[in-house]
Structure 1
Amino acid sequence: MITVFMEYKVNPDTYQSYERAMSSVIHELKKSGAADIQWYKAADQQTLYVECFQLLDMAAYESMKSKRTSPDHPVYSMIQPFITGGFEKIHCWAFEKMNAKEVL
């Protein structure tokens, strides 16, 4: 499993519209195979949001990353107008879980 983190800032005057659009984005993530979807707003930075979810493998991650940053995707593109700097400013990372017990 791959854990995906997506981080970006939302224009302060559009955060309500962004948050409404995210219900469709989260639904689409579920349909696309994402699991354990979590969505955060930074406690110390009013406009910073982070999404976290699980995908099966790196191929699924590369596909999702491409879709999430495409202005042509019918659902994921809904949030582009709300992101400060547009899709170019979405930071996306994939992580593999390490076994801390083996290290300790």
Structure 2
Amino acid sequence: MLTVFMEYKVSPDSIQYYESQMVSVMQELKAFGASDIQWYRAADQPSLYVECFQVNDQESYDTIKKNRTTLQHPVFSLLNECVTGGLEKVHCWAFEKLNTKEDL
């Protein structure tokens, strides 16, 4: 299991459109196998957004990352005009959990 973080800035002029598209984006993430999807806006930087979700394996992460940063995907590409610098500025990271609460 991997925890994925995606971070990007949204153009202030596009925030309303962007937020309306995120319903479709989250549904598409689920179709790619993402679970426990969480979506955040930075409290001190209103145009900075982070998504956090779980995937089962590296292959799922690689597929989502590729599709989120390309203009070829019919849903994810809708965010290209919203993200400052375009989809290539969507930063993606996958993390493996090393310990549990019981280990601390």
TM-score (norm 2): 0.94
Query: Which structure features the higher share of helix residues?
Result: 1
Structure 1 distance, partners of 2:87, 2:14, is: 15
Structure 1 distance, partners of 2:64, 2:14, is: 24
Structure 2 distance, partners of 1:80, 1:62, is: 19
Q: Could you tell me the percent identity over the aligned residues?
A: 59
Match of 1:27 in 2: 27
Q: CA deviation at 1:32?
A: 1.4
Match of 1:96 in 2: 96
Match of 1:38 in 2: 38
SS in 1 for 2:80: helix
Task: Structure 2 unaligned segments of length 5 or more: list them.
Answer: none
Q: CA deviation at 1:36?
A: 0.1
Structure 2 distance, partners of 1:46, 1:40, is: 10
Task: Structure 1 unaligned segments of length 5 or more: list them.
Answer: none
Structure 2 distance, partners of 1:88, 1:30, is: 22
Q: Is the 8 A contact 2:7 2:50 kept in 1?
A: yes
Structure 1 distance, partners of 2:67, 2:7, is: 15
1:51-81 deviation per Cα after TM superposition (whole angstroms, max 9, x unaligned): 0000001111111100111101001111111
Q: Which runs of 4+ in 1 moved over 4 A?
A: none
Please tell me whether residue 51 in structure 1 is matched to residue 56 in structure 2.
Answer: no
User: What CA RMSD, in Å, does the superposition of the two structures yield over aligned residues?
Assistant: 1.0
Structure 2 distance, partners of 1:99, 1:22, is: 31
Amino acid at match of 2:94: A
Structure 1 segment 64-75 matched on structure 2, within 5 A: 64-75=64-75
Q: Is the 8 A contact 2:3 2:54 kept in 1?
A: yes
Amino acid at match of 2:14: T
**How many residue pairs align between the two structures?**
103
Structure 2 distance, partners of 1:90, 1:31, is: 20
